[in-house]
Structure 1
Amino acid sequence: MNLKETDLPGTGKKFEIETRSGEKLTITIYDDGRREVYHYGADNPEDSISKISLTDEEARYVSAIIGGVTYKPTPLENIEVALGDLIIEWYKLEPHYKAIGKTIGELRVRQRSSATIIAVVESNHSKHINPGPDLLLTAGALVVVIGERLHQQQIRQILLNGSA
């Protein structure tokens, strides 16, 4: 992300933001409190796709929404769903995890933790529902596990260290 800030003497200030995707957002804050927001596509950074004008109050409200004051999203791999004492957790296999390159059977997940891997979603989005012991775990995969809190702690260690 690139950010460019420009003073507009007697008028306000202009901010230009270029996103990772190559899109551009220009926000002009006028001294009277108005804001103008322009959106430019990656394919034509000179012609705006859209424009919106906001009052000071509207801009502050939108800012709170975007900034996560009113709602903070929870990344999928951090969500817990409680089912009595059972918890479903998502673990993203980071490149340094010792479980990478091993099968579920080699790790002896059920025997060592009493937790069950109920799904694995590969980084290429292919899904393995109720995977068997022969499934090889790969970097970037999302492993969905059901078990009690203690079981979740044990499987976390198995995935990270290759042992409980």
Structure 2
Amino acid sequence: MGIRRTTLPGIGTQYDVTTRTGRNLSVVVHQDGRRFLGFYEADDPDACRMSVPLEAEEAAGLARLLDPTPLEAVRTDGIGLVTEQIPVGSRSPYAGRPLGDTRARTLTGASVVAVVRRTSAHPSPGPDFRLAIGDILVAVGTREGVDALAAIVAGS
């Protein structure tokens, strides 16, 4: 499998993937967080046969389906803790608000240990760190606590 990364000035980044069987697809990540999954023929990568727009939470869910235990994840098996990536979706009541407004640790016991925003990571964000649509919260806690935090961030 080959992956080619192309910067699209003013738009974002395109990742072209060619599988071992010769199938071609691309993922375009726009600067505003939008993502598109596209399918194309090898002889004409500009002629997209089909494009599927994905919301941030859909892209995160698809990534978890493709690789439910990513290598970069913190492994906490066997000690009662889990590490989870929680997307801040377009329907989250916390988009544009400080992380402290979630009261994550107080309400759930789970801790947000980092926020990943587009191409940069913000380790140990403080309570005044403003969340944005498309952010991914890296949370550590019990399964129940992390699930409760995901529900809070989603507005459920």
Normalised TM-score (structure 2): 0.55
Partner of 2:90: 95
Partner of 1:112: 107
Between Structure 1 and Structure 2, whose CA radius of gyration is higher? Answer: 1
Counterpart mapping for 1:68-87 below 5 A: 73-74=66-67, 81-83=75-77, 84-87=79-82
Distance in 2 of aligned mates of 1:152 and 1:23: 35
Structure 1 residue runs without a partner (length 5+): 1-16, 26-38, 46-71
Q: Which amino acid aligns with 2:45?
A: A
For residues 138 and 24 of structure 1, do their structure 2 counterparts lie closer, same or farther at Cα, with a shift above 3 Å needed? closer
Deviating above 4 A after TM superposition, structure 1's stretches of 4 or more consecutive aligned residues are: 17-24
Partner of 1:161: 155
Partner of 1:40: 43
Distance in 2 of aligned mates of 1:88 and 1:24: 35
SS at match of 2:66: coil
Q: Which amino acid aligns with 2:66?
A: P
Partner of 2:133: 139
Structure with more relative contact order (C-alpha pairs < 8 Å, separation 6 or more)? 2
Structure 2 residue runs without a partner (length 5+): 1-22, 28-37, 48-64
Deviations 1:72-108 (A, max 9, x none): 72266xx784341010000111101112122111221
What is the percentage of aligned positions where both structures have the same residue?
A: 24
Aligned length: 103
SS at match of 1:42: strand
- Displacement of 1:144 in angstroms is 0.4
